[in-house]
Amino acid sequence: MQQFIDGLGITMTTGRAISNPNMPDSDDMDHWTCTLSYKVPGQTRTLRIPYSCGLGHQGKAPSAADVLDTLASDATGYEAATGFEGWCAEFGYDTDSRKAERTYRALERQTRRLKQWLDPKVYETLLDAERL
């Protein structure tokens, strides 16, 4: 993952957040707003994303590798699923659950934004990168 980050020159800034809009039942977690950036000719591409981690991290800000590893893992699961029902079956969710559907839709939006930020070819490289 670090090679991927270094290869694109990705940088990240973080700021504390009160909550994560994609995780309404996460009061016992540390929340962050992470802004990932890298330069391509003529522009800087930026992705702002909420990120949460357990209290065991003791308030330590996540690294770019942590965030990208999580995004890649989430995207891999989303891409491998055959729609909502397949995703539910793979991850143990009830297809009749509104919470499961909200989670799936959040992953769908997050994956689409990640792919747009990187562009499809670089996105595939991320999904193939060695994970933490």
pLDDT in tens, 3-57: 999 999 999 999 999 988 888 777 788 999 999 999 999 999 999 999 999 877 7
User: Which residues on neighbouring strands pair with residue 121, listed in sequence order?
Assistant: none
Give pLDDT tens digits for 74-127.
999 999 999 999 999 999 999 999 999 999 999 999 999 999 999 889 999 999
In order of 7, 26, 31, 107, 108, the CA distances from 21 in angstroms are 31, 10, 10, 12, 14
70 φ, ψ (degrees, to nearest 5)? -65, -45
What are 59's two structure tokens? Answer: 């308030």
Residue 132 has pLDDT above 70, yes or no: no
Indicate the pTM of the whole model: 0.91
